[in-house]
Structure 1
């Protein structure tokens, strides 16, 4: 295998068409087909299935596609690192954050650390839902995103950071330090829309236990959710870090959900297509170190290996 053939292969899979890939790569289609045939010969595996609608990867092709993206990305990173050796890092780094995630609590430490260590690197922060953040990563509008993401997304590389348990948060009639999922289903719930990771996890848990939740409101805004909980209109479910913050703001309580215990994985997502520049890579390292620090202080946060 060589890098050029891997690049050709990845481009064909991304586009789904030999003809269009040949145009993008500025190579004749017969020559491109020959390159893929050579690659298939080297691996002794058929990599692509050709149909009237285009091409799709075989099972072997899907495995190679994943590895090829990683290899090409690492080569691009190595080239950038060599090119920028001895240079002062500069340029904006854009970061997406899921509302209420553990990363939200380290925004100020992140800005302060980057300011101290990378004074010529301004940070742009964008808070939105996971699906929107992934779309912005794919379009190149964001360099990285920290979110709860349970569904693999094409073109996205996801690095697990830690797991957070889910907690019930309210301001009246505290059930104690823990609360059964069955009891949660009977309460007036204020939850985000069904595309959020928290809502998907709760819907899944209720369905598996054959419970029908009493959802009285779907609220996206953290400030509005805090107000709803503070006035006693209902309770909500959040990851530990966000639950702790909202409980403090609403002068309320938080109880860990059990039977079963529920958790979400917090990940840092990157585009599989776009290489990391040196300043983004440096900020990513700082972000990872800050996000994983609470693990030592809070037993509810479990580091993912």
Structure 2
């Protein structure tokens, strides 16, 4: 036995599970058989692919490279099986799984419910999976074929994916209702006025956090960061509980408890702006069901522009930004 779909599936499952015994249970095979699959791959490539320890298994650098390629190969096989199954059910039937990623905190996250409803009503055979996560996580999943498309914070070119700028989004101070804030500008607040405010921000892994840190550094200010929170729901609840304020897109203020109004002020001097882009693979053919969902997603974005954009949202910015 050398390289085939079964051995690649065994290897990917072992890496995902971080345990040979757990992977064997998922695959419903004996652990010695799974170990034989891994050994055959290591013999074929003449590379050690997994490091085994009491804590489980983890891929070596060569294993990481094989893992990325194996994911693409297996995703192509899954797509082929779905396409052929759809054809056997009839040319007019569109069905199968489709995965869509939406970057945490973005205005685009508001598209999730309309997209779910549109897919349910128009294409009940499609099984839609929506992932709200970091842009770096989502773009990596798109690049490796584990996700069909994503809307992320990104403007600069990225290897392995195609980016289509959709929106320009500004960041706002979002604070508890009635919080005493410095500055006299109605609806705006200069960045320098935030030096003494307790802030709740995303972690440094996030593009928005990097943009915020760069803005404070350029102004010569050290922000008072009380906590780092990645969950938009937890962050909103913390603001409502008056733990602190945040700097994020204004869309966050529209989430959460009804009647729990928040104070929203546009940050100026400088304005902090980023780009939201559609991310699709540039080397993996898109399935028929994914093309259908992409069409629905584009239609919703067009409706967003036609209905009038929310505060701080505009056409894509000309300047590029890195990915979160």
Shorter-chain TM-score range: 0.5 to 0.7
Q: How many residues align?
A: 226
Match of 1:218 in 2: 228
| TM-score between both structures, scaled by the size of structure 2 | 0.64
Deviation, structure 1 residue 157: 1.0
SS in 2 for 1:293: helix
Deviation, structure 1 residue 303: 2.4
Superposed, 1:22-171 pairs within 5 Å as 86-171=91-176
Distance 1:152 1:249, change over 3 A: farther
SS in 1 for 2:99: strand
Distance 1:205 1:106, change over 3 A: same
Where structure 1 has 5 or more consecutive residues not aligned to the other structure, the ranges are: 1-79
SS in 2 for 1:165: strand
CA distances 1:22-79 after superposition (whole Å, capped 9, x unpaired): xxxxxxxxxxxxxxxxxxxxxxxxxxxxxxxxxxxxxxxxxxxxxxxxxxxxxxxxxx
Looking at structure 2, the residues matched to 275 and 164 of structure 1 have their Cα atoms a distance apart, in angstroms, of: 30
Q: Is the 8 A contact 1:159 1:268 kept in 2?
A: yes
The runs of at least 4 aligned residues of structure 1 exceeding 4 Å deviation read 83-86, 246-250
Deviation, structure 1 residue 257: 0.7
Where structure 2 has 5 or more consecutive residues not aligned to the other structure, the ranges are: 1-82, 318-324
Looking at structure 2, the residues matched to 199 and 160 of structure 1 have their Cα atoms a distance apart, in angstroms, of: 20
| TM-score between both structures, scaled by the size of structure 1 | 0.67
Give the superposed CA RMSD. 2.6
Counterpart pick for 2:297 among 265, 287, 295: 287
Looking at structure 1, the residues matched to 199 and 258 of structure 2 have their Cα atoms a distance apart, in angstroms, of: 19
Q: Is the 8 A contact 1:93 1:280 kept in 2?
A: yes
Distance 1:150 1:266, change over 3 A: same
Looking at structure 1, the residues matched to 144 and 254 of structure 2 have their Cα atoms a distance apart, in angstroms, of: 34
Distance 1:186 1:291, change over 3 A: farther
Match of 1:185 in 2: 195
Looking at structure 1, the residues matched to 258 and 298 of structure 2 have their Cα atoms a distance apart, in angstroms, of: 25
